[in-house]
Structure 1
Amino acid sequence: MNEPAGKADEADAPSWARSVLTFDIDAHAASQGDWRLHYEQLSSGDFRGELLMLQLSGVSLTSEKTNLALRQRGRLGEDVYGFAMSVDPSGDVYFDGRKVHPDAILCGSGREIDFVTPPKHHLIGLTVDRSLLDSLWDRMYQKPLATWLERQVDLRPTSENAIALRAKHLQDLKQALALAQHFTDAADLNQLRDDILIEWIEAIPPNVDVSDMDSLARRKRLVDKACDLMLVNRDLPPSILDICSQVGASRRKLNYCFQDVLGISPTQYLRALRLNGVRRSLRQAEPDETVQDIATRWGFWHQGQFSLDYKKHFFQLPSETLNRARRRLYGANPKGASV
């Protein structure tokens, strides 16, 4: 669904609403407008994602439900700020390299984001253009935007404010979707937009402590460097000891940093990262490529064990993934899918 709404004047950007149900993490990431996001599936199962997205003048409102543990990284835009919150999280959430409280407001620059979310997760959020937030902030507080908004910060509202904010966001998103679909005058949508944006800003606690951000950032940089090394040579996955040597950390420290930043061990993450890579390659395979060709290219040399690991992670054999891709891409009898 992609419906334009009315405009108050020529200066207003058109509004639109989108409701998407997806069964593939890459399709889910690609459905989110101009955002550039990349997802990795960390837990086992068939993916299912639900996304509600409403673009208003200067603000987008979202509600995202996903059924598996995921890592999502990317950017929302150069000149936007993002605000997000979990709705009744079923497990630990990690934001920019640290575990956050279930009621935390996650906010900061849209230039780079990094989330790890648990299975059965519901995320609500909004993005706002810098110019709109700057103007609103000045009117509310008579001072420039807080400098900590240029970073990725998790803030702890009171329990009462957290409950109220969740309810308000979901209520206003539902109302705004109804208005947008009925070509309502943009003035009504803009009033609703301002109300929900003010609600998010007012839920921010008065004092924001970022004194530990530098030490947390160092830990995350180490993990990010290790993650990059995992994909340098796809056909020859590094050992954990190789990674430790190249990032300058003991195995114990590396494991501690991964658990602290992503909630997963480096061995588990390396395995998930490469299985995700195989699945993407299978779904985009050339007509003459086989499962064995692709698995070997990703460093899986023992085909029997690889097939078991793949099925455990994605609930289907690699040959099933390749067969489905063949039918979707070429409409022909599948070839080379024997594993």
Structure 2
Amino acid sequence: MEISVTTPIPYIFDIAFHDCFWHGLIASPLKRLGLVAYCLHLSPIQTAMVTSVRDISSSYKVSRASHPNEHAAAYRDWIDHRLYQLSPKFSFDAVLLDHQVRDEISVNKETITTPSIEQMGRVPEDKVLIALIRSTSGVIMNGRQVNGDMIYLASGRSVQCITKSSVQSDFLTLDRRFFVERLPLANLPISGSNGFELVVKPATGLTTAYHRKVGRHFDLLDGDPLFSEIDHSTESLLTCVGEMLGGGTSDNDTCPNASTRAYIVRRSSELFVANCHDQEFGVLDLCSHLKISRRTLQYSFEQVMGISPMQYMRIVRLNVARRALTESAAGAQIQGAAFDAGFGHIGRFSKYYSDFFGELPSATLQSGRA
């Protein structure tokens, strides 16, 4: 095949890459690019264009985590991302597939098998999160019940996600400018550079198609794909997202606003996480900040999370202490981790910790240093 200067560079790269591979010339990515330029007699400008093509092996990562903090750290674009395990005696297990397709596009597939998880973080103002989240018991996103036939969008907003069973998530993160220019947004209440949060219900069947396309995208990456195949898969995903947003509905009848109780839980969580190091901060402080009765707080947590506010506060403190123990440097003390998490009595802390995580704090500390 004759290749001209007008031939798309990714296509040129595919041809040369496979030619070099079958002739046994494949080596490091740097040598590979040099071979491409040599075989095709590219000009210096074209060579620069070829070398700008992202190496798939460096842009595709698989992260497996046995601790919530490890999984939280694997997220590329969230700010202050935290995970809290809310269910006792379960081993945490999560996998995140992360493909940075281009600077403005990343594709992710997440599986968390541990039931009852709370995720908290913030989507940056210059990014847009587009998420499809599936769980047998449903998912609460910032107080809204979101099921597998809805798409959640957020930009420049804090996000709280509560799950009560294992969960699978397929999500794209796009640069906001690219999102506005590339996707049909005429029927969505998005304007200017303000942050936004939307729950969209697409036409029947589109979320299932999107889920399958994300799965095929990562199946492709696990093989030996051409760059043109990756581009085609990415365009197919963007087209599907465009169809979901362009023909979807975002009114309160199909996507109800957060209930008052869900709002109370969300604000309580934010307040407590910011003050959990303070041993004196408790239920009455939450009631005072939110100007609600203790009974209202109790009912809200029981309805939304299935646990009492006291239980929630203790669980979060245990998660904070566990994170400190798993990330500790040599010389760290269990007592210091307990006090920093708001526990004032080391004996009670050890009992609560072993009852919840199924191991003593000393065992966690040793495994973190291993």
By the TM > 0.5 criterion, same fold? yes
> How would you bin the TM-score normalised by the shorter chain?
0.7 to 0.9
Distance 1:266 1:102, change over 3 A: farther
Matched, 1:268 2:311: yes
d(CA) in 1 for partners of 2:127 and 2:365? 39
Matched, 1:43 2:87: yes
CA deviations over 1:28-72 (Å, ceiling 9, x no partner): 111223433221111122211111111112221111111222211
Contact 1:241 1:251 in 2 (8 A): yes
Q: Which amino acid aligns with 2:182?
A: L
Matched, 1:252 2:295: yes
Q: Which residue of 1 aligns with 2:7?
A: none
Instruction: Summarize the alignment of residues 183-222 of structure 1 with structure 2, pairs less than 5 Å apart.
Output: 184-185=226-227, 187-204=228-245, 205-209=247-251, 216=258, 222=264
d(CA) in 2 for partners of 1:10 and 1:75? 35
Once the two structures are aligned, what percentage of the paired residues are identical?
Answer: 27
Instruction: Summarize the alignment of residues 53-202 of structure 1 with structure 2, pairs less than 5 Å apart.
Output: 53-57=98-102, 58-68=104-114, 69-87=116-134, 89-109=135-155, 111-137=157-183, 140=184, 143=186, 146-147=189-190, 150-175=195-220, 177-178=221-222, 182=225, 184-185=226-227, 187-202=228-243
Q: Per chain length, whose mean CA-contact separation is higher, i.e. which structure has more relative contact order (CA < 8 Å, sep 6+)?
A: 1
Distance 1:154 1:13, change over 3 A: farther
Q: Which residue of 2 aligns with 1:238?
A: 281
d(CA) in 1 for partners of 2:308 and 2:124? 31
Aligned equivalent of 1:28, options 67, 71, 78? 71
Q: Which residue of 1 aligns with 2:20?
A: none
d(CA) in 2 for partners of 1:316 and 1:98? 35
Under a length normalisation based on structure 1, what TM-score does the superposition of the two structures give? 0.79
- Give structure 1 stretches of 5+ with no counterpart: 329-339
Deviation at 1:92, TM superposition (A): 2.9
RMSD: 3.5
Matched, 1:280 2:323: yes
CA deviations over 1:131-174 (Å, ceiling 9, x no partner): 2222223xx57x59741894222222344223222222212332
Contact 2:201 2:254 in 1 (8 A): no
Under a length normalisation based on structure 2, what TM-score does the superposition of the two structures give? 0.73
d(CA) in 2 for partners of 1:260 and 1:198? 38
Deviation at 1:13, TM superposition (A): 7.1
Q: Which residue of 2 aligns with 1:334?
A: none
Aligned equivalent of 1:298, options 341, 348, 351? 341
Contact 2:201 2:249 in 1 (8 A): no
d(CA) in 1 for partners of 2:50 and 2:160? 36
Deviation at 1:299, TM superposition (A): 3.6
Count matched residues.
Answer: 317
Q: Which residue of 2 aligns with 1:227?
A: 269
Larger mean CA deviation between 244-253 and 197-206 belongs to 197-206
Contact 2:154 2:198 in 1 (8 A): yes
- Give structure 2 stretches of 5+ with no counterpart: 1-28, 34-46
Contact 1:98 1:262 in 2 (8 A): no
Distance 1:164 1:29, change over 3 A: same
Contact 1:64 1:123 in 2 (8 A): yes
Give the 3-state SS of the residue equivalent to 1:216 in structure 2.
coil
